[in-house]
Amino acid sequence: MISAIKKNEKILKSLHTIGTEAVDEIKKQKNPSVDIPLRNLSNVNFNPKKAIIEMGKATQAREFFNIGMAKKYMQTFLVAEKCKDVLDEGKTVSIRDLYYMSKSTIPGTSENTFDEQDESDPIIEDLEVTADALREELGLYASNKGAMVGEITLRDMGDTIDGRRMGSGGWSIPSICEPNIIQFKRCDAKFILLVEKDAVFRRLNEDKFWKSHKCILLTGGGQPPRGLRRLLYRMVNELKIPLYTYVDNDPWGYYIYSVVKQGSINLAYESVRMAVPQARFIGLRSLDKEKYKLPDNVTIKLEDEDIKRAKQILEYPWFQKKGWQEEIKTMLKLGYKMEQEALSRRSISFVSEEYLPKKLKDKDFLD
């Protein structure tokens, strides 16, 4: 059977280069090594010009003739080999599959190449940054998480997906959203709306908000997974439409927005292909309780952990804009947070019929 997935020749070439460079070093009787970019906090920076979190240029040589590195050196090439096999066959596998594909007992010993998956997962991340390829470009996927509906038609592994005909649940966003799998065919949307909560996504979908406002509606059910973030990046950059995020009024909602906009500290190497600096924050805001006349009983008192987290993000370089400083300080001063569902206190469809339409009309958002 012919695969519907097109081979990524660029990534195959990158993997091939890593292998041939090692062979060349061996032929020259050198200690074979591979330079692995460091994925720690000291090697992460905020690039104000690009407005994204980036990984620095620091690397560590992983050497074969080094007792502390030899096993990881061999594991790196073993994972690279298995990824190449997957790409050569034009298929995709889960990161759990790859663990078992790479696991074996070395002949004549009781030593395994990998004992647990928590050994192979970091090697995959090392290979991502070394090959300058996302895990998804290496043919590796995680469980689907997230849903989408709206004014867009796309192709998913050769099948046509009409976002206007996705029922109540929406299209299940795959973990791999690369161009060789997902292609955009028609888009009539004026903007993209990312919603934190699945329940709010369902309300907006049931009310056909995406139809009345000509948009694409998505949710990640909390912190957006990699596949959804990659899809957002591609839609904004390829379809040339704006992205708005609608999250809870708390430090964790603010951070969800910042991960979409600037990227994450832990996975800074992804930012260049996932962060969307153009993203705008449309709510929920600290003063919305007063503005929309919500009762006191919809608020939730800030816990010590909330306060600590709010003070942390207050210091982040990407939250130094005047609007954000005022927003976070206002929340701390008021001493409470609110969930998106608090707007249901006004009416079941208040969010879709009044709140978001007014926000969009008034261009009431933070950048």
**DSSP-assigned states of every residue in 210-237:** HHHTTEEEEE-SSSPPHHHHHHHHHHHH
Q: CA–CA separation, 279 vs 233, rounded Å?
A: 10
Residues 6+ apart with CB under 8 A from 97: none
- Phi first, then psi: give them for residue 232, nearest 5 degrees: -60, -45
Q: Which CATH number fits domain 147-362: 3.40.1360.10, 2.40.160.20, 3.40.710.10, 3.30.360.10?
A: 3.40.1360.10
C-beta atoms surrounding 301 within 10 Å:
8
- Map out the domains of the chain as residue ranges: 9-141, 147-362
Per-residue pLDDT for 5 more than 70? no
Could you tell me the pLDDT band of residue 2, with boundaries at 50, 70 and 90?
very low
- Active-site entry in 100, 292, 316, 336: 100
> What is the pTM (predicted TM-score) of this model?
0.88
Per-residue pLDDT for 18 more than 70? yes
Per-residue pLDDT for 132 more than 90? no
Token pair 């090594």 is at which residue? Answer: 33
Pairing of strands 336-337, 59-63: unpaired
The arithmetic mean of pLDDT across residues 247-253, rounded, is: 95
Q: What share of the chain is helix, strand, coil (3-state, %, to 5)?
A: 45, 20, 35
Could you tell me the pLDDT band of residue 1, with boundaries at 50, 70 and 90?
very low
Q: CA–CA separation, 60 vs 41, rounded Å?
A: 15
- Looking at residue 331, its amino acid is M
Could you tell me the pLDDT band of residue 144, with boundaries at 50, 70 and 90?
confident
The arithmetic mean of pLDDT across residues 315-338, rounded, is: 95
CATH assignment of 9-141?
1.10.10.10
Report the pLDDT value the prediction gives residue 122, as an integer from 0 to 100. Answer: 92
Q: CA–CA separation, 335 vs 42, rounded Å?
A: 33
Whether 73 sits among the annotated catalytic residues: the reply is no
